[in-house]
Structure 1
Amino acid sequence: MATAITTIEAENIGEARRDLGPLFVGTIFVGSFLLFLVQPMVARMALPRLGGAPAVWNSAMLVYQALLLGGYAYAHAIARLNVRVQSLVQLMVLAASALLLPLHLIGVTPSTTASPALWVPWLLLVSIGPLFFAVSAQAPLIQRWYAAATGGKDPYPLYAASNLGSFSGLLSYPLLVEPRLAIAQQTALWTGGYVLLVVLTLICAAVLPRAGLDTSDAGIVTEAPPTLKRRLWWILLAFVPSGLMLSTTTYLTTDIMAMPLIWVIPLSLYLLSFTLAFGEGRGVVISICRLSPVVVLTMGGISLQNASSAPLVGMMAELLLLFVVAVTLHSQMYASRPAPVHLTSFYLSMSIGGVLGGIFSGLIAPLLFDWTYEHPLLILLAGALVPQAYLFSASERLWQGGAGRRWAITIVYALVVAFIAWAAIRQPWPWLHKSGPMFGAAAIGIITLLCIGRRPPFLIGLAAMVLVFGGWDAIQRSLHTGERYRSYFGIYTIRDEGDVRTLAHGTTAHGMQRLTPGHQWDLTSYYTAYSGVGQAMSRLPAILGPNARVGAVGLGAGTLACYAQPGQDWRFFEIDPTVVHISRESGSFSFLSHCKPDAKIVLGDARLSLGDVPANSFDFLVLDAFSSDAIPMHLLTREAFGIYSRVVAPHGMLLVHISNRFLDLEPVVAEAAREGGWQAARYDDMIVSGSDNARYTASSNWILMTRDPEVLRRVITNPPTNGKWRPLRAEPGFTGWSDDYATILPLLKAFR
């Protein structure tokens, strides 16, 4: 790369241009800060309309990546112009986009059956597309202007400042902005930041070279344009981290909660990787790159485990893997960067790779695969791209010699690894039972460490780790039709263990059915007679009569249908057609077909569907809409409870399922009850370990709400010995959730 300048041109630049770094760094920082502050902000604004499915964020990310690509393409297109002309064009684009301020979503609500895969892109493109496009072009343009204004100084370190701004914007939203400001205040803050950005851009334009320099790259020794092979290399290096970021996001938002605090973690690490990779200090980056094969080998396997028993371990493995892969591959991209004259071409290629990675993980993979095969495929591709260097002198000596010796060692190694993997998966000896995967992974990992430095055997070991840690089991389930389904809303797995068939979404069971004749329709899982819903359902006929109107938000395996009594009218609200197929049409579960075959099922987001229901339509409404282990946040806001209050009859009941491994949701419901004038009590059931029915049941937490104190009294009187009702616990200083304001920070169990 050549960035030297001639002596005469350096003198023409002048002493005054030596201290322009802070101005351009500040401008690029503010632009990137705004760009990534707006992402979770707009996603948060869209939740009440689009629902809380984890894939909604992935769809939003695809829109952001596409707009970013558009901004980079626009910056590349005007790169041929004099930098003065570039600045005028960009200022006009910023001014035109400002007509859309303050930030807001267009006033259109999707129908209850509208596909989020179509609605999310359309809504975001129309609402914030021009603003996002204008700001996204700032990073490459400001770097080009910096090179011109300083006479050819290397502009690439400014990209580290750009991504530091992006990282700061993302973290600021869930930690500072969302907990303290309502949506209207957030948009006002963003508008002020946009005005500051325009002012800084004006100042940058004012210090650009004047008419004496007839091209933006005067003073810079040029190099030949990047070859197609080099551009494809950049695209590939950008493709893998982008795809991994989205597949990691899917895991986190499925098993914790679909809201910006969780969404921003993978994206923040992804952006932080650019800051390190493009920064001037290289010591940390070199160390990360050297250790990257070890991290890919170990964390790549752990991250594929079923994390239901240790979800936080799986989460940390996922995040560490993503960060190390992103830093390593982005660092390789930085090492092959072109001269500043081809800067916009470099960033355009990088953006293309990012968009392709997003399309693969967010759009293509859900259509092609019934499991998250994109994740192990991306891990394997990362293993093929990370640099290889021997960790030990002994291993380097082992692989010394001619090609024949190296291939012979590789074949022997492959046979040993294949045998270990077979033993770990098949567990042919009793001492391997239950510990086979851990034993196999440990053995494969140890001997593969000796292969780091040689890519073919390393990839063999990595592939074996993937197979041992969940990959083989996933393939077997995919080969058996009817055991796994994948939709826009997640992955559903049907497992038979003994006389129990379980439906799992992500890592959380959403219903189980006994297969023993005579017990097929026993109430199981969270829905036994000793659960909160069981206690309320058993008293429903006596309190509200034999013809009660029952609504249930969330269908699952259809277990609740077996509480139906003759004369009752039942209606289920389910967002995912795949769940309807599993519970009613696939033949895997028979609760619905046997217990309440005439139950109505309303497809679409429950909040939107209930908004169209007439007032006082239900005597009993159950809120059990989980996304794996979490209730989508938009179903627990003040506005959502206002809808429930309208559709539930004055003497009716609302029952909310709040079981969650990570969040204490009681304060949210308690505040909604206080604001809405509900009488409420919480029920916690206790599973007796070792009892005959323990394997068919699961502990759960429910909150019963009604506006009639007498109804509440009649339900909570005389609970069973393995469960108890108690008043809701008030949380001092807690602010209830609304469409305009919500935060989960005070609810995290880890900090309570």
Structure 2
Amino acid sequence: MMQGSLNAGVRWGVYAFTSFWGAYLLFQLEPLIGKFILPWFGGSPAVWITCMLFFQVLLLAGYAYAHLNLEHFPVRRQGVLHAAFLLLALFTLPVTPEQSFKPDSSEQPTLNILLLLLSSIGLPFFILSTTSPLLQAWIVRINPYRSPYTLYALSNFGSLLALLSYPFVFEPYFKLGQQTLGWSAGFVIYVLLSAGIALDFRRLAKAEAIVATPMALDDETRIADRLSPTMLWLLWLVLPAATSALLLAVTNQLCQDVASVPFLWIVPLSLYVISFIFCFARHDWYQRRIFIPALFVAAIALIGVLYGGGRFTLEAQVGIYGAGLFFCCMTCHGELYRLRPQPSQLTAYYLVISTGGALGGIFVALLAPQVFPLYFEFHIALFACCLLTLFAIGVESQLLERKRRRPLVWLLAGAGLIWLGGNLANHAFQTAAEKTRVNRNFYGVLRVEDRAVENPTLAKRLLRHGAIDHGFQFLAPEKQQLPTAYYGNESGVGLALTHFARADGRRIGVVGLGTGTLLTYGKANDYFRIYDIDPAVVELAQTYFSYIKNTAARYDIVVSDARLAMEREAPQAFDILVLDAFSGDAIPMHLLTEQALQLYLRHLRPDGVLAIHITNHYLDLRPLVSGMAKRAGYAYLLVQSEPSEELGWYRADWALLSKNQSFMQQPVLQKFKEMSAAPVESIIWTDDFSNMFRLLK
């Protein structure tokens, strides 16, 4: 046994580093595996939300194992059991998902993702999730006079470092294969350290050098001993459930209209972890007089973004959503820390917290899409965080009767809560009102809306995804066949479909159906092959819009991820291939990589045209299409068309890539040559290497 103070210090250092390293690996694995499988399921933000649900449930399983190990196994067997699990996890390396899990269809993606994650990273993730509660429970039995919560804060610091290092260090400079191998090597180090700790704990247990029950420390408890067990456990459950739900809801809000990329996954998760670090590292870092007012200021700012999101820049939206999430987490987790128990209840405390986190994830990832037509879980989670914070404070104020009553403070807090709830309810009502049809599924929320109905010449029906139009159709019969939105006659795709001719008819591929507007360009001998991953888009386009029904061309609609479908198909010999599969401003990055380009060229005739829609509020995609053109040896033109309210045209940016000089030299296109010749950096993405930062406007 390590008897001296130096030996005790060394042991504490080993426990501290292993807690840090386990958490680092745990949270590095999350964005790594999320990015790995994102292209397999259409690049939807819901892929990451489903991954987060898996992580939370596995974290709960790890905490449950730690609790059961401590409560139901003799101390001499606890270390042996854990060492056996550690060695078993080594046989799952490297953590690379099997290609056989690529989906054949776009149906039931949630179940497919969960099964994929379970088979590829389930055991290593489970083992890593046991680290924090198990090591804290062991160390307080070896050194019963030292607070274990320092290790918890240290593990959260490891989590934060992993999250911040991934988008800035690993994603931009290492390919996915290199990342998985490096992670696997780090996991081997973790297993060796943890196995050593487990065997050392067994040796100490055999020598009867540990205490059966940790000491009760007076300075480690405040309110927990005075509350009834039912109320205590309820607060342990609902406070983390609210913050977990808000974390996923904020992630959804950010990713729907920008891009489902690790950076925008990691920002909310990092702020969530930072709140745990601040609240659990020192008892005086959470100050109510600072964070409660900040919470309500952040809530006011969030209301402003909800009502006027289109007026805010990307940076402002990320900042306001991030601040709101952080202050909600600080108050809820700060109150959670004030309710911490004696060390003897440590694993039960963490088990209930993780249960709350999993329930929040289940609410957002599984329940909300079935119950709510729109993203109302954000409204509910925000209100719940504020309400539960005040409830926890109220419970404590009732117990500590010596504290001075502050009726004015409570009156103001109650009024603020009513104001917040009223505005959230009003926004939810306004968002849902006056919609012809709302459809929500794994791929997002689609809304069919009628606009300007009081003006017959401008009345139109729109299909919206998030805050962006997928297309629209005029309601006046004489204007129903006009190509509108981003697809007008003077847009890049409009010029391509108008001026590229084949005597015997054209074969046209379209990635992204929208309302079916491009079918207005179809002629009797033309054939359109349209790919769309979302069956709801197809159903709404066929039901509420007449572009598909009235087209003169022949067509097929393939309900699948375009890239996966094209990989299975024989070469289609397209004359024109149109890429327009963006959900809002979100970028399906797997459709813009070098490997995707090679696939498109396999399906495109040598003299064909590749038309890429690059209109975007936040990202400048010109360097990417420039790089794609140079890599393929194609000439390219950037076509910017101006809006027209009368004709129903939006401002649109398209890139046309082709080796067909007779087409590219047409006067109608040559007027864009000078604009296209402007120097621009060329960037190439690959399936395992991309960097969105270089494209930010």
Partners of 2:213 and 2:418 lie apart in 1 by 50
State the SS of the aligned residue for 2:448. Answer: strand
Residues 668, 655 of structure 1: CA spacing in aligned structure 2 closer, same or farther, 3 A cutoff?
A: same
- Residue 534 of structure 1 corresponds to 494
Partners of 1:699 and 1:99 lie apart in 2 by 55
- Residue 685 of structure 2 corresponds to 737
Partners of 1:627 and 1:612 lie apart in 2 by 24
CA contact (8 A) 2:295 2:328 kept: no
Residues 518, 457 of structure 1: CA spacing in aligned structure 2 closer, same or farther, 3 A cutoff?
A: same
Q: 2:651 is matched by which residue type in structure 1?
A: S
Aligned positions, number:
669
Q: Tell me if 1:17 matches 2:20.
A: no
State the SS of the aligned residue for 2:655. Answer: strand
Residues 660, 370 of structure 1: CA spacing in aligned structure 2 closer, same or farther, 3 A cutoff?
A: same
Q: Tell me if 1:183 matches 2:176.
A: yes
**1:86-138: per-residue Cα shift (whole Å, max 9, x none)?**
33322221211111112201131210334311211111111111111111111
**1:188-242: per-residue Cα shift (whole Å, max 9, x none)?**
2112211221233245346543424376545524999982432222110111010
Residues 226, 345 of structure 1: CA spacing in aligned structure 2 closer, same or farther, 3 A cutoff?
A: farther
- Residue 511 of structure 2 corresponds to 553
CA contact (8 A) 1:246 1:361 kept: yes
Task: Give ranges in structure 1 of 5+ residues lacking alignment.
Answer: 1-8, 391-399, 407-449
Report deviation, 1:293. Answer: 4.5
- Residue 581 of structure 1 corresponds to 539
- Residue 198 of structure 1 corresponds to 191
Q: Map 1:477-492 to 2 at 5 A.
A: 477=434, 482-492=436-446
Partners of 1:261 and 1:117 lie apart in 2 by 22
CA contact (8 A) 1:637 1:737 kept: yes
Q: Map 1:332-343 to 2 at 5 A.
A: 332-343=335-346
Deviates more, 1:595-604 or 1:655-664: 595-604
- Residue 64 of structure 1 corresponds to 55
Report deviation, 1:674. Answer: 2.2
- Of 603, 612, 618, the match for 2:559: 603
CA contact (8 A) 2:43 2:588 kept: yes
CA contact (8 A) 1:292 1:328 kept: no
Partners of 2:155 and 2:42 lie apart in 1 by 31
Report deviation, 1:465. Answer: 2.2
Residues 43, 336 of structure 1: CA spacing in aligned structure 2 closer, same or farther, 3 A cutoff?
A: same
**1:442-486: per-residue Cα shift (whole Å, max 9, x none)?**
xxxxxxxx7655554333221222245x23312424xx5x33221
State the SS of the aligned residue for 1:44. Answer: helix
**1:621-664: per-residue Cα shift (whole Å, max 9, x none)?**
10000121132001111111111011112221111111111111
Q: Tell me if 1:462 matches 2:420.
A: yes
Q: Map 1:412-451 to 2 at 5 A.
A: none
- Of 553, 567, 571, the match for 2:529: 571
CA contact (8 A) 2:506 2:527 kept: yes
Q: Map 1:466-545 to 2 at 5 A.
A: 466-468=424-426, 470-477=427-434, 482-498=436-452, 499-541=459-501, 544-545=502-503
Q: Map 1:35-74 to 2 at 5 A.
A: 35-74=26-65
- Of 377, 381, 389, the match for 1:378: 381
CA contact (8 A) 2:245 2:381 kept: yes
CA contact (8 A) 1:289 1:387 kept: no
CA contact (8 A) 2:142 2:209 kept: no
CA contact (8 A) 1:247 1:374 kept: yes
Q: Map 1:312-331 to 2 at 5 A.
A: 312=314, 313-331=316-334
- Residue 672 of structure 1 corresponds to 628
Partners of 1:252 and 1:33 lie apart in 2 by 24
State the SS of the aligned residue for 1:626. Answer: coil
Q: 1:705 is matched by which residue type in structure 2?
A: L
Q: 1:167 is matched by which residue type in structure 2?
A: L
Q: Tell me if 1:706 matches 2:662.
A: no
RMSD between superposed Cα atoms in Å = 2.8
**1:307-357: per-residue Cα shift (whole Å, max 9, x none)?**
223253333222211111111111111111112221111111111111110
CA contact (8 A) 1:532 1:703 kept: yes
Q: Map 1:301-312 to 2 at 5 A.
A: 301-312=303-314
Q: 1:743 is matched by which residue type in structure 2?
A: N
**1:36-67: per-residue Cα shift (whole Å, max 9, x none)?**
10111111111232220111111111111111
- Residue 409 of structure 1 corresponds to none
Partners of 1:137 and 1:252 lie apart in 2 by 31
Partners of 1:514 and 1:242 lie apart in 2 by 43
State the SS of the aligned residue for 1:653. Answer: strand
Report deviation, 1:304. Answer: 2.3
Partners of 1:199 and 1:731 lie apart in 2 by 50
Q: Map 1:246-261 to 2 at 5 A.
A: 246-261=248-263
Report deviation, 1:253. Answer: 1.0
Residues 199, 87 of structure 1: CA spacing in aligned structure 2 closer, same or farther, 3 A cutoff?
A: same
Q: 1:511 is matched by which residue type in structure 2?
A: G
Q: Tell me if 1:718 matches 2:668.
A: yes
Partners of 2:8 and 2:526 lie apart in 1 by 80
Q: Map 1:49-448 to 2 at 5 A.
A: 49-80=40-71, 81-83=73-75, 85-108=77-100, 109-205=102-198, 208=201, 209-213=204-208, 217-218=212-213, 220-221=215-216, 227-280=229-282, 282-283=284-285, 285-295=287-297, 297-312=299-314, 313-387=316-390
Q: 1:525 is matched by which residue type in structure 2?
A: A
**1:369-428: per-residue Cα shift (whole Å, max 9, x none)?**
1111111112221221123889xxxxxxxxx999xxx8xxxxxxxxxxxxxxxxxxxxxx
Partners of 2:114 and 2:593 lie apart in 1 by 24
- Of 544, 548, 561, the match for 1:592: 548
State the SS of the aligned residue for 1:31. Answer: helix
Partners of 1:310 and 1:219 lie apart in 2 by 52
Deviates more, 1:664-673 or 1:162-171: 664-673
Partners of 1:581 and 1:306 lie apart in 2 by 30
State the SS of the aligned residue for 1:509. Answer: strand
- Residue 429 of structure 1 corresponds to none
**1:238-269: per-residue Cα shift (whole Å, max 9, x none)?**
11010011111111111110111211111111
CA contact (8 A) 1:667 1:730 kept: no
Q: Tell me if 1:638 matches 2:588.
A: no
**TM-score between the two structures when normalised by the length of structure 2:** 0.90
Partners of 1:243 and 1:149 lie apart in 2 by 36
Partners of 2:138 and 2:299 lie apart in 1 by 42
CA contact (8 A) 1:59 1:121 kept: yes
CA contact (8 A) 2:152 2:280 kept: yes
CA contact (8 A) 2:507 2:526 kept: yes
- Residue 456 of structure 2 corresponds to none
Report deviation, 1:521. Answer: 2.1
State the SS of the aligned residue for 2:529. Answer: strand
Partners of 2:290 and 2:185 lie apart in 1 by 38
CA contact (8 A) 2:514 2:541 kept: yes
- Residue 432 of structure 1 corresponds to none
Q: Tell me if 1:683 matches 2:639.
A: yes
**Identical counterparts, % of pairs:** 32
State the SS of the aligned residue for 1:527. Answer: coil
Partners of 1:514 and 1:381 lie apart in 2 by 42
CA contact (8 A) 1:179 1:742 kept: yes
Report deviation, 1:301. Answer: 1.6
